Each structure stands twice: as C-alpha cells, then as structure tokens.
Amino acid sequence: MMNRVVSVAFFWVLVVGACAAQTRDSDSQTLHQILVELRAIHEDMRVSETTQLLVAELEMQQGVVSHAVQDADNARTKLNEIHLDQKQVAAELDRAEDQREKASNPEERNAVAQDIERHKSNLAGMKTAERDWTATLLDMQQRLQNAQDKLASIESELNSAIARLTPVPKDAAQR
C-alpha cells in the first residue's frame, strides 16, 4: 500500500510538474510577445516623433524656398527694369546725337552735348547696376537651388520615416 501511495504521489508530482512547465512556457511566450509588441510601439513612437520633427522642418524649409523664390524674382524684375531703362536712355542718346547734328547755334549744341554726356553717364551707371544685379540674381538663384535641394532632402527623409511606420496587423487590432 505504501508503494501505491508513493506511486500515486509520484504520479501527481509528474503531472503537476508537467503542467507547471507548460504554464511557464506559455507565460514565457506571452511575455516574449508583449516585449516584442512594446518594442514595436516604442519604435513607432520614435519614428512618429521623428516624422513630426521632419514635418516641422519641412514647413520651415518651404518658407525658406518661398522667400528665396521671391528674392530671385525681385532680382530678375530689377534686372529687367534696368534693361528697359538702358534701352530708353540709349534711344534718348541717339535722339540727342541727332539733335546735335541738327543744332544750328553753339548754345543749342552745348545744351545737347550736355544731354549726351548725361545720357552716357546714365548708361555707364546702368551698366554698373546691371553687373551688380546680375551678380545678385546669380546669388539668389544659387540660394534658391540650395534651399530646394535641402527641401528635397527633407522630403526624402520624411518619406523614409513614413515608410518605416509599421501598419497594425488586422489580427493585432482585434485583440
């Protein structure tokens, strides 16, 4: 009888031990799944924060690009105005030279000669302004290109960050 009690007790120890081992394995798997899920959530939060920062940086850079476009347009407009003014002054210079040839008295020739010198001086000043504004336009275009390149880089980083966001599986959303 003692053998029988020992045998039954031994049997129950084996059964309880097996059940406990299965529970530990089940608990271990559950904990592992929870850990994996927490890591995924942490990564998603990190990527989400990065995405938010990139969106803010993108908005600021779009402002920089807009400002650079406006500056380049202003320089281009100013350069076009200078070209129009040069054409106008050159036409006035031609008329003044024609008037000098047609002038009948020395006083009229002197007045026309002074107009011619003034027009030549204006043209020289406009040539200097044209060189300056051409250099300014080139600088503004380079700044615009740099701003657009940086904007494209930020957009690329943002697209990459968005691609790293993992979608929630359907079965995980139901749990």
Instruction: Express each pLDDT in 117-156 by its tens digit.
Output: 999 999 999 999 999 999 999 999 999 999 999 999 999 9
Q: What is the pTM of this model?
A: 0.66
Q: Does residue 39 lie within any of the structural domains?
A: no
Better-predicted residue by pLDDT, 56 or 165: 56
Amino acid identity for residue 170 in this structure: K
Domain count, the chain: 1
Q: What range does the domain containing 61 cover?
A: 53-174
Structure tokens at 10: 């031994």
Distance (Å, whole) CA 93 – CA 129: 19
Over range 30-59, report the average pLDDT: 86
Helix H or strand E segment including 90: helix 2-102
What is the band of 164 on the pLDDT scale with cuts at 50, 70, 90?
confident
Q: Report the percentage of the chain scoring pLDDT > 90.
A: 49
Over range 46-64, report the average pLDDT: 90
Q: At what angle do helices 106-164 and 2-102 cross, to 10 degrees?
A: 170
